[in-house]
A and B are shown apart, each in its own frame.
Chain A
Amino acid sequence: MKQIQDAYIVAAVRTPVGKAIKGALRNFRPDDLLALAIRNLLLRVPSLDPNFIDDVVIGCSLPEAQQGYNIARIALLLAQLPNTAGGITVNRFCSSGLNAIAMAADRIRVGEADVMIAGGVESMSMVPIMGNTPSMSPSILLRDENIGIAYGMGLTAERVAQQWNISRESQDAFALASHQKALLAQSSGEFSDEIFPVEIDNHIFNSKTNLAEISLEFFVSDEGPRQETSLEALAKLRAIFAANGSVTAGNSSQMSDGAAALLVVSEKALKQFNLTPMARFVSFAVKGVAPEIMGIGPKEAIPAALRLAGLKQHDLGWIELNEAFAAQAIAVIQDLALDPSKVNPLGSAIALGHPLGATGAIRSATAIHAMQRHQLRYGMVTMCIGTGMGAAGIFERC
C-alpha cells in the first residue's frame, strides 16, 4: 500500500534522564514512568479528545520483568487513557524508540489511523543490559561467522576503533566535547521545552524512627553531564573491554533510565482537533552490518534514509547521532563526512545518557524541539544497534 497522507508530530515530551543504578530514577518503575510521560504529553494537547487515540507504540529494548507484560498497554491504562486505545511494545534495541515513531507514522501514512502515540522507555536500573536470564543458543558458537553475536557492545566498539583507526585521544576528546556541549545546553535551557519534571516518591525505611516513610523529590534535569570531567581525568580511565583497548567507561554512553512520548497525527486530525504540527515525519531506514562492528551501522542507514526522503546530506540542519561509543560515532562521522557542527549540538549519550529503547524517542523529541527553536528545516535521528544494524529517521519542521 502506498502512502496516502503525511504524519505529523504535534507534541514531544520526555523525562529527565537518570543515571542507572545510583540515579534519581533507580526506584521509579518504567511502567509508571512511561504512564507519566503519556500524561504529560496529553497535557500539551488539551484540545485532543483522547477517545480518538488509535494505538500506542512503545520502544523498549528489554521488555521483561518491570518493563515486560506489554508495557505499552499497561502504561496507557495507568495513564488513564480510554480502554479503546491499543498498545504495542516494539524492540530493536537502541532504535526501539525511533522505530516506534516510524511505525506510528506508518499507520497514519497508509491511512489506517489518525491519532497515534509513540514513545520509548527503559529502566536500566531495574532490567540489566542482557536481561534477567540471558541465554544463548549453542548454535552461535558452532560457526565462527556467528561469533560476533556473542560480542558485547564494548568489544564491538573496540573492533571499530581498531578497524577505523580511531585513537584513544580522539575518543576522549569527543567524549569531553559531548559533556561540554551538554552542560552548555543545560545552562542555556535548551532542554526546557522537551523535559517535564518528575516527582519521585522514594519509599524508604527510616532506621532512626523505625518507620517506613515516603520521601518526595523533584527530578528536573539530566543527571549525566559531568562538570568535573577533563581530558586528564578521561585519560586515566582503564580500557574495560579489551586488554590493550581504547574504549573506556568515559568514552562510552552511560547506562540510564528514562522515557519519552510523542503525539503523531494525520492532517485530518490536525484540523479536527485544531492542532499545530511541529514536524512532518519524512522517512526511516534500517540497514544491517556485521555484528562485531555494529557501531558502524548508521553509515549504511543514513544514506538510505536520505535516499528515501530524496534529500542530500547537506540538507540536514540537525543530526542526533547517538553516541553509543565515541569510537563508532567518530567512525561514522568521518566515513560519511558529516558536518561536525550539525552533529549532536547539545551533546549525546556519552554525556546525556542512553536508556536503550527510550533513546530513539528521547532524541527525536530533542531534535524536533531544536529544529523549532533554531528554525532548521530537516533533522535526523540515527543510531547503531546491537547485533549489527543502523537506523535513521528524518523529520521536517513545520
Chain B
Amino acid sequence: MGLNMPIGKVAILGSGVMGAQIAAHCINCGIPVILFDLPTKDGESKLKDKSAIANKAIENLKKQSPPPLAISTSTDLIQAANYEDDLALLMECDLVIEAIAEHIDWKHDLYKKVTPYLSATAIFATNTSGLSITKLAEGFIGDLKKRFCGIHFFNPPRYMHLVEIIPTKDTDIQIIDHLETFVTSVLGKGVIRATDTPNFIANRIGVFSILSIFSQAKKYQIGIDVVDILTGSKLGRAKSGTYRTCDIVGLDTMASVVAATAAALNDDPFFELFAVPAIVTELIKNGYLGQKTKKGFYQKKGDAVLIFDQDSKEYVPAIGQLSPAIATILQKPMAERMGLLRANVDPQSQFLWSIFRDIFHYVAVHLETVAESAREIDFAMRWGYGWKLGPFEDWQAAGWLKIANWVEEDISQGKALSNVPLPAWVFFSPAAESQKIHTPEGSWSARDFQYIPRSILPVYEKQVFRAPLSGEGLPDPQSAGITIFINDAVRIWVASNRPTVLILSFLTKMNTINPDVLNGIKKSIEIAEELYDGLVIWQPASLKLDAAIGAFSAGANLEVALLCMQNGGPKEVEAFVNLFQHTMMRIKYSRVPVVCAISGIALGGGCELIMQSAKRVAQIESYIGLVETRVGLIPSGGGLKEIAIRVHDEVGTLGTSQYLAVIKPYFDNVVMAKISTSAQDALKMGYLKNDDVIVPNPYEILTQAQVQVLTMRYAGYKAPMPRLISVAGRSVATTIMGQMVNMRDGDFISEHDYWISKKIIDVITGGEVDCGTLISEDWLLKLERLAFIELMGHPKTMERILSFLKTGKPIKN
C-alpha cells in the first residue's frame, strides 16, 4: 500500500467488546472488515464453524445498546475469521488492529502468529488501553516497528469521538499521518497523538479524576447521590456523574482498571491514590457490580432510586440535594466560581474546590511527560470523557496564576493528594507570563517550553471549523465569514473557504422553524439565485459533541401554530401552513441547488425541509423522522407529498400491484412517528436518498455540502421539472385502514390515532381517487393543508399539543 492509497480493508484481531464494536464502526463508515478470533476446538461448536467465536460476537452486535451498528442487519458485512484457517486473509488488509485482552504475553504470542501474514505495507496497531506500545513492539523483525503503533478507541467506539494514536520512537511519522487521516475522515473520529506513557492521556487523567472524587467525597462526607449531582452536567461533564458512570462501566471492570493503573504507576507522585476504594471492594464482595447485576452504588426499585449506604449496608432512598449556595456559585463565570468555591466552608463547596485543585495539580505535574501539549489533554477529556471543557481550559478561564497560587498553597498546607510541587513552568514561562495555555499561536507544551500550533495535515482542510479550545480565538461559527443578512431568526453568510456558496443557519432554539425562519429561507434562496452557486443549510449546533449531538432542526414551532389557532382560528393556521408549504416548494424549485448539511435531529418540519432540498449531506448520527402524530398532527409542509412522489418513483418500475408493499413502510414510519437511528437508517426509511452523502465526521459536513453545491452547479444544475404523480388511490388506502381497524379495535391505538392515520393515508394515496390517477403536487399539498387545519381544530389534538408544550411529552388520547 502506497502512503497515498486509501485504506481499503481492515482486520480486527479479537472479537471482544471493543474489537467487535470497532469492526461494526468500520462497517458504519463503509470499510470492509474481517473480525478474527480463536478457532473453536473440536466439539465446541455444534455447527462445526471454526469461526464460531467471531460469529457469535458479530451476532451479539445486534443486541447491544446503544447500537454499535448504524443498521443492525449489516452484521453480514463483517467477515468472521479464525487464526487457524484464515490468516492468509490478512494479506488483503491495509490496517490490522489488535484488540485482544490486556496481557502482554498473549499479545506477543498472537503477534508471532499473525505478523508473517501481514502485507509488507500494512499498518499494524494495537487497541490497548494502557500497555506500553514500545514493549509490545519488542521482537518485531524487519521494518514492522516502523508500521506499528497504538490506536486507542473509547467505548462505545461508534459514539465516543476520541481516538488516541500512540507512536513509538520507531514508528514512521508518515504512517501516523496516514492513520490520523483515515481515523479522522473515514471513521469520523477526533484524533489526538499521545505519548507512550502508562494509560496514555485520557485514562491517565480520567482514572485519576474519578479516584480523586472518591477520595474527596469520603473526606467531606458527600453522599453518593450528591456527588453525582455535583460532578455531572452541573460541571459540564457526563450526566451520569461519577458513581453512576462506575455502575454503568461495571465495578469489577473499574477495579481491574485501577489495579492495572496502580501497577504501571509506581513512580507517580500520586501513587497512593491509585488503589481500589474500600467502598468499591465492599460492593464487589457482595456481588454488587453495578448495572449488570442491577445493584451497585445504585439500585432501581420501580420508580424509586436507592443508594448504597455504607453504614447500614442497605440500599436507602436517594434524598441528597444540591446546596442552594452551591447552585448559585455554579452559575457564576469560571473566574469568580473557583474563588467562591474555595472560600465557602460548605462541605459541598470544599469538595468541588478540592476535585478541581486535584485535577489541576495532576495535569500540571504530568503535562511534560504524558502529552505534547495541553491541547491533547483537554481534547482527551472532552472527547473521551464527555467533559464540556478540558482541565486546562477551566484553569485558564479561572485565572492562571491565581489558581496556581491557591493550588501551591494547598500543597504546602498538606491539603493536596500529593506533596509534589507544581512544576516551575506553571509560574515561570511564557504561558505563566501571559496566563494563557491555549492561544492563537498554539497550545502550551511543557516539554518544548513553547506553544505548539495545530496539526496542518491536509485532512483538516475538510473542516471549515475545527474543534475549538477556549483561548485559541478560532473563528466562531455563529459569526465567522461574511454575514450577508441577519435577524433574530436566521444568519445568511458565506465562509471564506468557498465564497461562492451561500450558507443559511437558523438562530432559533433547537433550530425550530417559525415564520421568520421561513421568510429567512426564502430570502436566502433569492440571494443565492441572484449571486451564488447555491445554498447550504447548516447549523453551528452540528459541532456540539459534548452532550446530545446538536440539532439540525426540531421542526416547526408548535407554539406558533397554537397561537395562530387561538388568535386567528383556522384562517390563520392556514396562512402559516401556506407559508410553510410555499417556502418548501421554493427550496425544491430553487434555480440553484439547496443542500442540507445534517447531523443530530431533523424532525417534523425539519425532516420535510431536508426531503425537499436538492441533496442531503448527513453525518452518521442523524436522527430523522416525521413525528407530527405525537402531537396529533400530520406532516403538512410537503412531507407526505414527498412520500407520495417517492412511492410513485418506486412503484413505476414494479407495477401498480406493488403500491401497498411500497407504501406500507412509509406509512408506518409516519404513523408511529419513527425516528431514524442513523443516517443509514434514514436512507432505508426514505428520508435520505441513494445519492445523498453520508459523512462520518460532523466537522466535515459543511465542506461536503459546499462541495456538493459546487459539483451540482458545475454539472449544470436545473430545478426538478414539475410533474404529475400517479397515486395508489382509495383501494390501497382502504386496505391499509383495514389494518388500522385491527389496531383500533384491538385497543392498540385510540380513535383519534385511527382518525389521524386515515388523514395520513388519504394524502399519501392521493385522496379519494382510483389507482394510478395522475395528480399534481398542489393537490397533495391541499390535502395536507386541509387535514392539518381540521386536526388543529380537534380538541384531542389540542390536548396533545398543550401537554407537549407544557411537559415536553405528548399524552396519549
Residues of the A chain whose Cβ atoms lie less than 8 Å from the Cβ of B735? 134-136
CA distance A343 to B317 in the complex (A): 57
Q: How far is the CA of A245 from the CA of B732 in the complex (A)?
A: 28
- CB < 8 Å neighbour of A141 from B661, B732, B737: B737
Contact A136 B731 (CB under 8 A): yes
Q: Report the bound CA distance from A95 to B731 in whole Å.
A: 28
Interface residues on B, range: 10 to 19
* A281–B422 alpha-carbon span in the complex (Å): 103
Closest A residue, CB atoms, query B731: A135
Residues of A within 8 A of B62 (CB): none
Asked whether B747 lies within 8 Å of A135 as measured between CB atoms, the reply is no
| Contact between chains at A133 and B658 (CB < 8 Å) | yes
A151 proximity list for chain B (CB < 8 A): 741-742, 745
Determine whether A150 belongs to the interface, using a CB cutoff of 8 Å to chain B. yes
Chain B positions 639 through 664: 1 when the CB is less than 8 Å from some CB of chain A, otherwise 0? 00000000000000000011011000
In the complex, the chain B residue whose C-beta lies closest to that of A151 is B742
Within 791-811 of B, Cβ neighbours of A (below 8 Å) are at none
Known contacts A133-B658, A133-B660, A138-B731; is A158 also within 8 Å of B746 by CB?
yes
Is A244 part of the contact surface with B, judged by Cβ < 8 Å?
A: yes
B residues 728-766 in Cβ contact with A at 8 Å: 730-735, 737-739, 741-742, 745-748
Q: A122-166: which residues lie under 8 A (CB-CB) from chain B?
A: 132-138, 140-141, 147, 149-152, 155, 158
Complex: chain B residue closest to A130, CB-CB = B735
User: Which of A136, A138, A149, A150 neighbours the largest number of chain B CB atoms within 10 Å of its CB?
Assistant: A136
Instruction: Establish whether residues A155 and B657, one from each chain, have CB atoms under 8 Å apart when the complex forms.
Output: no
Q: Which of B660, B746, B748 has its CB near the most chain A CB atoms (within 10 A)?
A: B746
In the assembled complex, A28 has its CB within 8 A of some CB on chain B: no
**A337 contact set on B, CB distance < 8 A:** none
**Cα separation A158 to B660 with both chains bound (whole Å):** 27
Complex CA gap A136/B739 in Å reads: 10
The verdict on A243 contacting chain B, using a C-beta distance below 8 Å, is yes
B746: nearest residue on chain A (CB-CB)? A242
Across the interface, which residues of B come within 8 angstroms of A242, CB to CB?
745-748
Residues on B with C-beta less than 8 A from A245 are: 746-747
Contact digits for A233-260, partner B, Cβ 8 Å, 1 yes 0 no: 0000000011111000000000000000
| Per-position 1/0 for B377-391, Cβ under 8 A of A | 000000000000000
Q: Complex formed: what's the CA distance from A149 to B735 in Å?
A: 11
Residue from B661, B738, B746, B748 within 8 A of A136 (CB atoms): B738
Tally A residues with Cβ within 8 Å of B.
Answer: 21
Q: Assess the A155–B745 pair: CB atoms within 8 A.
A: yes
Contact present for B746 and A241 (CB under 8 Å): yes
Contacts of A152 in B (CB 8 A): 739, 742
Provide the residues of chain B in CB contact with A141, threshold 8 Å.
734, 737-738, 741
Closest to A133 in B: B657
CA distance A135 to B728 in the complex (A): 11
Min Cβ gap B768→A in Å is 8
| Contacting residues, chain A, for B747 (C-beta < 8 A) | 242-245
CB pair B742 A135 closer than 8 Å:
no
Chain A residue nearest in CB terms to B655: A133
Partner of B734, one of A133, A137, A155, A243: A137
A149 to chain B, nearest CB (A): 8
A155–B731 touching, CB < 8 Å: no
The answer for the CA separation of A134 and B739 in the assembled complex, in Å, is: 11
B99-146 interface (Cβ within 8 A of A): none
Q: Which residues of A contact B746 (CB under 8 A)?
A: 155, 158, 241-243, 245
In the complex, the answer to whether B745 meets A135 with C-beta atoms within 8 Å is: no
Chain A proximity mask over B658-672: 1 for CB below 8 Å, otherwise 0:
101100000000000
Chain B positions within 8 Å of A155 at CB level? 742, 745-746
Chain A residue numbers with a CB within 8 Å of B660 are 133-135
**B734 near A138: Cβ-Cβ < 8 Å:** yes
**Chain B residues touching A, majority SS:** helix
Question: Scoring B residues 709 to 738 as 1 if CB is less than 8 Å from chain A, else 0, what string do you get?
Answer: 000000000000000000000111111011
Chain A residues with CB under 8 Å of B737's CB are 141, 150
A136→B740 CA distance, assembly (Å): 13
Query: Given contacts A133-B658, A158-B746, is CB(A150)–CB(B730) below 8 Å?
Result: no
Expressed in whole angstroms, the minimum distance between the Cβ of B801 and any Cβ of chain A is 25
Are the C-beta atoms of A241 and B742 separated by less than 8 Å?
Answer: yes
What is the 8 Å Cβ interface bit string for chain B, positions 403-443, against chain A (1 contact, 0 not)? Answer: 00000000000000000000000000000000000000000
Given contacts A242-B747, A242-B748, contact A137 B731 (CB under 8 A): yes
Which chain B residues (172-216) contact chain A, with CB distance < 8 Å? Answer: none
How far apart are the CA atoms of A151 and B743 in the complex, in Å? Answer: 10
Complex Cα spacing A137 to B771, Å: 12
CB distance from B173 to the nearest CB of A (A): 41
CB of B47, distance to nearest CB on chain A (Å): 13
Residues of chain A lying within 8 A (CB to CB) of residue B733: 138
* Cβ–Cβ contact B731 & A150, under 8 A: no
For A343-374 the 0/1 string (1 means CB < 8 A from B) is 00000000000000000000000000000000
Q: Using Cβ atoms and an 8 Å threshold, which residues of chain B touch A244?
A: 747
Which among B730, B731, B741 has the greatest number of chain A C-beta atoms within 10 A? B741
Residues in chain B near residue A158, CB distance under 8 A: 746
* Separation of A25 and B468 alpha carbons in the complex (Å): 62
Instruction: Tell whether, in the assembled complex, residue B745 and residue A243 are in contact, meaning their CB atoms are under 8 Å apart.
Output: no
**Contact across chains for B734 and A136 when beta carbons are under 8 A apart:** yes
A152 to B660, CA, bound (A): 17
Kindly provide the distance from the CB of A356 to the nearest chain B CB, expressed in whole angstroms: 19
B658, B739, B741, B748: the one within 8 Å of A147 (CB): B741
With both chains docked as a complex, state the minimum distance between the C-beta of A132 and any C-beta of chain B, in angstroms.
8
Q: Which residues of A contact B731 (CB under 8 A)?
A: 135-138
The answer for the CA separation of A65 and B87 in the assembled complex, in Å, is 47
Q: How far is the CA of A149 from the CA of B747 in the complex (A)?
A: 18
Q: Which residue of B lies closest to A158 (CB)?
A: B746
Residues of the A chain whose Cβ atoms lie less than 8 Å from the Cβ of B741: 141, 147, 150-151
Which of chain B's residues have a CB closer than 8 A to the CB of A140? 734, 738
Per the bound structure, the CA–CA distance linking A147 and B739 in Å amounts to 11
Q: With both chains docked as a complex, state the minimum distance between the C-beta of B573 and any C-beta of chain A, in angstroms.
A: 28
Minimum C-beta distance from A13 to chain B (A): 35
Interface residues of A in 8-52 (CB under 8 A from B): none
Cα distance A242–B734 in the bound complex, in angstroms: 21
- The complex places the Cα of A147 from the Cα of B733 at a distance, in Å, of 15
Interchain nearest-CB distance for A204 vs B (Å) = 15
Q: Which residue of B lies closest to A240 (CB)?
A: B746
Measured between alpha carbons, how far is A85 from B517 in the docked complex, in Å? 75
Tell me, in angstroms, the Cα distance from A2 to B657 when the chains sit together. 45
Contacting residues, chain A, for B661 (C-beta < 8 A): 133
Min CB distance, A179 to chain B, in Å?
25
CA distance A150 to B745 in the complex (A): 11
Q: Is the Cβ of B657 less than 8 Å from the Cβ of A150?
A: no
- CA of A79 to CA of B745 in the docked complex: distance in angstroms? 46
State in angstroms the CA–CA spacing of A243 and B743 once bound together: 9
Q: How far is the CB of A219 from chain B (nearest CB, A)?
A: 20
Smallest Cβ-Cβ distance to A152: which chain B residue: B742
Q: Is the CB of B742 within 8 A of A150?
A: yes
Residues of A within 8 A of B742 (CB): 150-152, 155, 241
A153, chain B: closest CB distance, angstroms? 10
Report the Cα distance A214→B630, complex, angstroms: 51
CA of A140 to CA of B738, assembled, Å: 9
> A134 to B657, alpha carbons, bound, how many Å?
9
The CA-CA distance from A306 to B270 in the complex, in Å, is 93
- B657 cross-chain contacts in A, Cβ below 8 A: 132-133
Contacts of A137 in B (CB 8 A): 731, 734
Q: How far is the CA of A152 from the CA of B730 in the complex (A)?
A: 20
Cα of A25 to Cα of B812 in the assembled complex, Å: 44
Name 9 extra pairs, CB < 8 A, besides A135-B732, A147-B745.
Answer: A136-B731, A136-B734, A136-B738, A138-B734, A150-B741, A151-B741, A158-B746, A241-B742, A244-B747
Q: Can you report 27 A-B residue pairs in the complex whose CB atoms are below 8 A from each other?
A: A132-B657, A133-B657, A133-B660, A134-B735, A135-B660, A136-B734, A136-B735, A138-B731, A138-B733, A141-B738, A141-B741, A147-B745, A149-B738, A150-B737, A150-B741, A150-B742, A151-B741, A152-B742, A155-B746, A241-B746, A242-B746, A242-B747, A243-B746, A243-B747, A243-B748, A244-B747, A245-B746
